[in-house]
Structure 1
């Protein structure tokens, strides 16, 4: 089991392939789409190729990699991505091309991935969003995630100070567990009364 293909009513979630470089470039080159992503926008197809190799092809060689292209079933062309980190954060991340925003696509994809990782025995997921991007937080809430705390981080490679909100979803029935790595490594952290 590496990256099983998932289907929803509207979507096909599958691996990115080398044939997807044009679509990958379209997703990651848009400055507005990439405002709240950690990496810099791609500038060329060569950048897209390097990005694909580093973030996707390498991950797909691991025994388990939850790194999906989000495709509309009708076209099977990537319009976004969704992933779960392979480290102990099990961090859920997602992004879509701008013309597909506000259609519930990230939520629909997130539900499918959550069910897959639950079946695979992942005990919890985390997700973070920049406080200036509350729409991403609303996706987390629609997925059943709960706010835990806020923290500051000097974000690289963009080298800017960001205030993040951290959400968590327990998948194994454990209550009260809080993933604390971000809290512990940040000198500025706190719980907001109404995030």
Structure 2
């Protein structure tokens, strides 16, 4: 499905395939891309598990971390949403997130993919989302702000010395009225 947002780059989000595990591994095999995720590229087995889990989420929930295909049709990374997977931070919340290959940086893909994700989440009836971002990750913080997300709380992560900030966004009128 292509974006139709005015002024946004043309990209597609698709449910990850088995082959996307290798494509994600290649796209993220860069210390700069992984700077806020431990700094070290992950093993291929992590992406095999991750893509399988995302297919399950899409089937069960109607959303997941989708594969982002850039204007050239090549895998640029992922963007989407999933239940917050950790035992610290916003437990029980739906997290929106994105990670792109360095070659896809600065092209508007993260914001465009995140906006398309928000549209899909609203259609799926999700009431609110969070984005958990390393406090030093200025690029991702800028994307969260462009989405209209508001800074909520800061907390320590499972990585020693790493702090993250949680941004929140209410998606439905009913949830806004309850807030």
TM-score (norm 1): 0.75
- 1:118 paired to 2:122: yes
Q: Following the alignment from structure 1 to structure 2, what is the Cα–Cα distance between the partners of residues 40 and 137?
A: 21
- Equivalent residue number for residue 72 of structure 2: 74
Q: Following the alignment from structure 2 to structure 1, what is the Cα–Cα distance between the partners of residues 142 and 26?
A: 25
SS of structure 2 residue aligned to 1:81 = strand
Mark the structure with the bigger radius of gyration: 1
Task: Give 5+ residue unaligned stretches, structure 1.
Answer: 1-5, 179-195
Cα deviation, 1:67-102, whole Å, max 9, x if unaligned, reads 201101432x21111131235310111111112111
- Equivalent residue number for residue 176 of structure 2: 175
**Contact in 1 for aligned 2:21/2:48 (Cα 8 Å):** no
- Equivalent residue number for residue 192 of structure 1: none
Q: Following the alignment from structure 1 to structure 2, what is the Cα–Cα distance between the partners of residues 51 and 143?
A: 29
Q: Following the alignment from structure 1 to structure 2, what is the Cα–Cα distance between the partners of residues 33 and 154?
A: 19
Q: Following the alignment from structure 2 to structure 1, what is the Cα–Cα distance between the partners of residues 149 and 72?
A: 30
Aligned partner (choices 56, 59, 67) of residue 61 of structure 1: 56
RMSD: 2.1
Aligned length in residues:
163
Shift of 1:152: 1.9
Task: Give 5+ residue unaligned stretches, structure 2.
Answer: 5-9, 85-91
- Equivalent residue number for residue 80 of structure 2: 83
SS of structure 1 residue aligned to 2:77 = strand
